[in-house]
């Protein structure tokens, strides 16, 4: 017993140290994001702009007006995507689950595209409400379709239903964009996933919702531990399966909807990061969730920085870079024999 307790304490200390290291890495990549762009700015100047802002300095204005809101959006969106992916994988017991695979991102994107094409909405701040509606409705449809039949919403049926509905929604989106040049022009950069052009108003719009989603997600660790072991085990532990999955789904919809509204549908972040976190921490969601919350923005901001420097003087949008990073991981994951083992 004493040996087991000692091992547990050592593991907890190691994982806490890992979280501290990830926090330091996140701070470093955030500073790099503030310094990198079409006009490189020294880190000393970045620090001076943050601590002693000079409105007469062009570099200080670039940092505060352009790069700081972009970096904050990247931090929020990355954390939201990482948490939503981890929550969905635990709630559905499906290692392929993430907001893009289950159709949540596609539903949010369709709602935004319809808002632009039909209602003439052009303000990015209005996308938030459309994205929430689209992601929520799509999640309900996917779960309802997967629930048909005797076995209910099994992990395989959820993945199949999500993939099918995503394909349908994406076809509708493409049809609208091909027939409406005005809509295509309005959403073309948002549609591929982008952090550029985001201002402080977007941060203020999405931050309250993402904060609520993060609290719900982090608070669901015990429920996810039970759900990830199977419905029978969860029931034996006294969990109400429907309520637990409903709360997890609500957290995922809030996080994915807010992230999609702010930055567009960014794929693979919510899929890849929880697997890396699980490989480090083990199967307990008490640790998977905070690790995913820190690792995902590191990946997203890192991809954004790469996108700014590989094609000067322009930039490659972050959604394209994350797809290049995440696609090989997705292929490797699909090729594994025991996909259901979490």
pLDDT of residue 100: 81
pLDDT at 176 over 50: yes
pLDDT band, residue 191 (cuts 50/70/90) = confident
Mean pLDDT of 205-217: 92
Please report whether residue 312 resides in a domain.
yes
CATH code for position 41: 1.10.3470.10
Q: Average pLDDT of 214-219?
A: 94
Q: What is the pLDDT of residues 305-337, one digit of tens each?
A: 999 988 777 788 888 898 888 777 767 766 664
Confirm whether 287 is domain-assigned: yes
Instruction: Report whether pLDDT(212) > 90.
Output: yes
- Binning pLDDT at 50, 70 and 90, where does residue 342 land? very low
* Domain span holding position 325: 2-335
- Once rounded to an integer, what is the mean pLDDT over residues 161-173? 89
What are the backbone dihedrals phi and psi of residue 252, each rounded to the nearest 5 degrees, phi first? -65, -40
Section 108-118 average pLDDT: 88
Kindly state whether residue 341 falls inside one of the protein's structural domains.
Answer: no
pLDDT digits 0-9 by tens, 37-80: 888 899 999 999 999 989 899 999 999 999 999 999 999 999 99
pLDDT for 302: 94
- Beta carbons within 10 angstroms of residue 23's beta carbon: 12
Q: Which residues contact 230 (CB under 8 A, 6 or more apart)?
A: 93
Cα separation of 63 and 133, whole Å?
Answer: 33
Q: 60 and 39 in contact (C-beta within 8 Å)?
A: no
Does pLDDT of 81 surpass 80?
Answer: yes
Q: Give the model's pLDDT for residue 306.
A: 92
Looking at per-residue pLDDT, the higher value among 180 and 29 belongs to: 29
Give me 97's structure tokens.
């689950």
Instruction: Evaluate the CA torsion angle 29, 59, 259, 206 in order and state its sign.
Output: positive
What domain count does the chain have?
1
Most trustworthy range by pLDDT among 7-21, 92-106, 236-250, 320-334: 7-21
Q: What is the arithmetic mean of pLDDT over 101-120?
A: 86
Write down the mean pLDDT value for the chain.
Answer: 85
Q: How far is CA 94 from CA 98, 112, 275, in A?
A: 9, 28, 11
Average pLDDT for 270-291: 91
Contact at 8 Å (CB) between 169 and 107? yes
Residue with tokens 């890192």, as numbered in its chain: 302
Give me the half-sphere count of Cα atoms (radius 13 Å) on the Cβ side of residue 151.
7
pLDDT score recorded for residue 3: 66
Q: Single out the residue of 26, 93, 101, 81 nearest to residue 264, CA to CA.
A: 81
* Ramachandran region, residue 149 (left: φ > 0; alpha: ψ -120 to 50; beta: rest): left
Is 230 within a domain?
yes
Does any domain span residue 103?
Answer: yes
């Amino acid at each position: 017993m004493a040996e087991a307790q000692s091992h547990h304490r050592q593991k907890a200390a190691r994982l806490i140290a890992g979280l501290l290291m990830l926090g330091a890495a996140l701070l470093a990549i955030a500073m790099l994001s503030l310094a990198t762009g079409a006009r490189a700015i020294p880190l000393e100047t970045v620090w001076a702009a943050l601590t002693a802002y000079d409105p007469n300095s062009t570099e200080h204005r670039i940092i505060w007006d352009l790069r700081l809101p972009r970096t904050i959006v990247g931090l929020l969106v990355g954390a939201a995507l990482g948490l939503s992916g981890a929550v969905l994988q635990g709630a559905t017991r499906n290692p392929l689950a993430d907001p893009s695979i289950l159709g949540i991102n596609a539903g949010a994107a369709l709602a935004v595209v319809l808002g632009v094409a039909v209602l003439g909405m052009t303000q990015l701040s209005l996308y938030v409400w459309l994205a929430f509606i689209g992601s929520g409705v799509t999640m309900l449809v996917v779960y309802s379709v997967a629930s048909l039949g005797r076995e209910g919403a099994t992990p395989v049926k959820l993945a199949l239903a999500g993939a099918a509905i995503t394909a349908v929604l994406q076809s509708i989106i493409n049809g609208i964009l091909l027939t409406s040049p005005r809509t295509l022009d309005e959403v073309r950069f948002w549609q591929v996933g982008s952090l550029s052009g985001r201002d402080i108003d977007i941060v203020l719009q999405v931050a309250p919702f993402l904060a609520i989603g993060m609290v719900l997600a982090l608070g669901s660790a015990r429920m996810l531990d039970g759900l990830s072991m199977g419905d029978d085990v969860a029931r034996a532990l006294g969990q109400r399966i429907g309520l637990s999955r409903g709360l997890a789904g609500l957290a995922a919809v809030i996080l994915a909807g807010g992230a999609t509204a702010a930055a567009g549908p960014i794929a693979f972040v919510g899929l890849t990061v929880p697997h890396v976190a699980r490989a480090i921490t083990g199967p307990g969601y008490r640790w998977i969730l905070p690790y995913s919350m820190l690792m995902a923005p590191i990946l997203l901001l890192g991809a954004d920085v790469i996108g700014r420097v590989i094609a000067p003087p322009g930039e490659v949008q972050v959604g394209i870079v994350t797809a290049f990073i995440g696609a090989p991981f997705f292929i490797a994951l699909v090729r594994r024999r025991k996909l259901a083992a979490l």
